[in-house]
Structure 1
């Protein structure tokens, strides 16, 4: 009994094709010695395929090795070139940052110096403004004191005009000092704001300089480098170099404007302090000169009045004696007048033809007329002397009143006002020192 077995086999020759083998085994007796195997052609073909594949793989490996070697060299050169370029750019960036930092430091120093000068000017303005309170008080008190003059001395003289001018000048100076002080405070605030902006910009650049300097020191052999894949993308919120430079230029321009404004304001403060102090002192000298002239005039008038009073008093004394003498003379004429009148009265009683106008009668009549005339003249002179005495007394009263008025005026002007004006601030105090 015989049987036939067909066994399909697939063999991969390495090229991706599969070969189908088939064979038939007939008979049980050959089953242990024969099986499905490659044919010699298949064997040869398989060897050729292996050789071809091996040669192809080796060629591909050589090509890949060459390409890898060239790529390694190229990437190494590119990496070295890019790293050198980046390091050079970092160095240039450090130079730019250092230049900007130096410029910021220079303007910061200038701003600080200008601010210190303005602060000193501000303190001087405040001192000068406070110093004007003393002249204001002195002028006001002088005017108030001089209102207590009385009589003809309550006059609007040159002293009062100069005091009013001084008071107006002090008010104007105070207004100017306050305005200048407000400008100085405002400029100091602007300077500090600009200084704060510069300090912030300088701080940012200082930090950026340190970071870029650290980046420039990184080498391939550095042990403190790490992978930061997310940082390799461009930052959308970052500015371009032109914007960076423009930002700093804007800050520097603002600082320069404030520096120029500060310098101009400082010169203005110096001029205002100098000119106001000079004006106040000049007006004070004018007031003092007016006081001196006024006191000299009043003193001279007072001496003349006192001299006149002395003369009037002497004349009053003389006139009083004259009145007394006239009264005595009138009194002395009463007895002779009584005698002559008595004689005439008695002779008027003569009888008849004895009542004649004899020489005696004529002499008595002449004597009576002369005595009456003398008494009348003496009485008239006495009345005139008494009137003169009354006028002299009035003059004495007027002179005494005027002397008292002049004495009071001198007391006010010389011993009150001028003494008070010795406390007038000096040039340095009014200049804020």
Structure 2
């Protein structure tokens, strides 16, 4: 800014030295010729040339003083006019610079205000995403509890069904997947909380800068309104100085630029984190949905296999029960046949015994005797054969009974496995949330 012209000091013209009208050489005065009687009238008087010179000197001094005063008035008038114009120019220039400064302050104030509003809105969106993460984390508690409960329920299966089958492998995979998802959600929640804190810190920095800009704008606007007619202006001689901690226009603008730049960086990081949260929730929901479908399919397949195995065992049990009935009837027939043959054997043996008492020559080896002996031998062979067959049939019946017990136990084991898998496990999986992403929006 050009400095106003400095007022020139008034030029005082040099006055010629006045005539020495008062310097009368007493010795040059004519001596009085009247003697001592006229001495009192002559001593204090001037000569006529002296009187003229004195009058001329007074007039010259008056003329010189008038001219000098006139020059001083002209110079003062010029100085007043020049000072007024310079002061007006200086004030207008200062007013223009204040106006420009107000525009600069207003620009950065609006930029900071815009950044504060955008950062506040972004923080609100990120807080909503953080709430989604927390709800999604809460929603994983039920699937994890269901998976753990399924594993614990299946531990109550009875041998030989207590096997590491495809269902157990899928359940273990599901439990591990949910644990990994929960860990990821917890880490992301911490990251979101940290980003929210950073957003709020930078928002506070921008708000402080904005507040300073608002206060500065009001101060400069008030300064812009001052004029020579203002009633609230007064002298402040000590204010004409530069503060040691004052900033430069470059550092002043750079400070707000840095605040806005950092706010933009935090806002960009927040936007990227929100996108990451959406991806995490979506991917976790898809993974859980696919794993849930895989577990349910494994359960369905295993339950069908159990139903088929139980059906085959029941069919075998029905056949075994029929065989047991037939075997019991066979044993009864064998026992009856043995009793019948023993009756015939008793008759033949009694005949032989009674004929052994024939007297003398009548004790003859006749044809009836041979026939009775053959009959006893034949009946004895048949009875022994029947007894062996009875023992064999009784062993078969015992084996059939043991098989029946095994089949009944296996059927009970299969029924228990079916109850655990279908009623307990699959019934409990009805509580499984349909979609983790949908659950993250629920209140």
TM-score by length of 1: 0.90
Aligned to 1:197: 205
- In structure 2, what is the Cα distance between the partners aligned to 1:337 and 1:145? 65
Among 256, 259, 265, which residue is 1:248 paired with?
256
Q: What is the deviation of 1:252? A: 0.8
Q: Do the aligned partners of 1:129 and 1:178 also contact (CA within 8 Å) in 2?
A: yes
CA distance in structure 2 between the aligned counterparts of 1:351 and 1:430, rounded to whole angstroms:
113
Deviation at 1:233, TM superposition (A): 2.1
Note if 1:112 corresponds to 2:108. no
Give the corresponding residue for 2:440. Answer: 431
Distance 1:293 1:130 in 2: 31
> 2: distance between equivalents of 1:21 and 1:415?
153
Q: 1:260 is matched with which residue: 265, 268, 273? A: 268
Name the residue aligned to 2:65.
57
- Whole-angstrom distance in 2 between the partners of 1:329 and 1:422: 63
Aligned partner of 2:9 in structure 1 is none
More off after superposition, 166-175 vs 281-290? 281-290
Separation of aligned partners in 1, 2:257 and 2:287: 44
Query: Which of 83, 102, 107 is the matching residue for 2:110?
Result: 102
Unmatched segments (≥5 aa) in structure 2:
1-16
Aligned ranges 1:107-256 → 2 under 5 Å: 107-256=115-264
1:67 pairs with 2:75: yes
Contact 1:122 1:185 in 2 (8 A): yes
Matched residue SS, 2:234: coil
2:92 pairs with 1:92: no
Contact map agreement 2:22 2:54 (CA 8 A) in 1: no
**Residue pair 1:131, 1:429 contacting (<8 A) in 2 also:** no
What displacement does 1:104 show?
1.2
- Taking a change above 3 Å as real, the CA distance of residues 192 and 18 of structure 1, as seen in their structure-2 partners, is farther
- Which residue of 306, 316, 329 corresponds with 2:324? 316
Q: Is 1:383 paired with 2:361?
A: no
Distance in 2 (CA, whole Å) between partners of 1:20 and 1:426 is 134
Counterparts of 2:290 and 2:232, CA distance in 1: 77
Please report the RMSD computed on the Cα atoms of aligned residues, expressed in angstroms.
2.5
Q: Deviations over 1:242-287 (max 9, x none)?
A: 0011101110110110011000000001111111122112212222
Most deviating of 201-210 and 348-357: 348-357
CA distance in 2, matches of 1:406, 1:212: 90
Pair 1:418 & 2:426 matched: yes
Partner of 2:374: 366
Contact 2:18-2:60 within 8 A present in 1 as well: no
What are structure 1's unaligned runs of at least 5 residues?
1-12
Q: State how far apart, in whole Å, the 2-side matches of 1:18 and 1:344 are.
A: 217
More deviation, 20-29/46-55: 20-29
Give the Cα separation in 2 of the matches to 1:133 and 1:16. 123
- Distance in 1 between the 2:301 and 2:385 partners? 52
Query: Contact 1:21–1:38 (CA<8 Å) still a contact in 2?
Result: no
Give 1:352 deviation, angstroms.
6.9
Deviation at 1:388, TM superposition (A): 0.8
Q: Match of 1:37? A: 45
CA distance in 2, matches of 1:234, 1:14: 53
Deviates more, 1:64-73 or 1:41-50: 41-50
Query: Bigger shift: 391-400 or 104-113?
Result: 104-113
1:70-120 Cα shifts (integer Å, max 9, x gaps): 222222222122212111111211111121122112211221111011000
CA pair 56-234 structure 1, distance change in 2 beyond 3 A: farther
1:32-59 deviations in Å (ceiling 9; x for gaps) = 7555233334333322332332232223
Partner Cα distance (1:211, 1:16) in 2 = 66
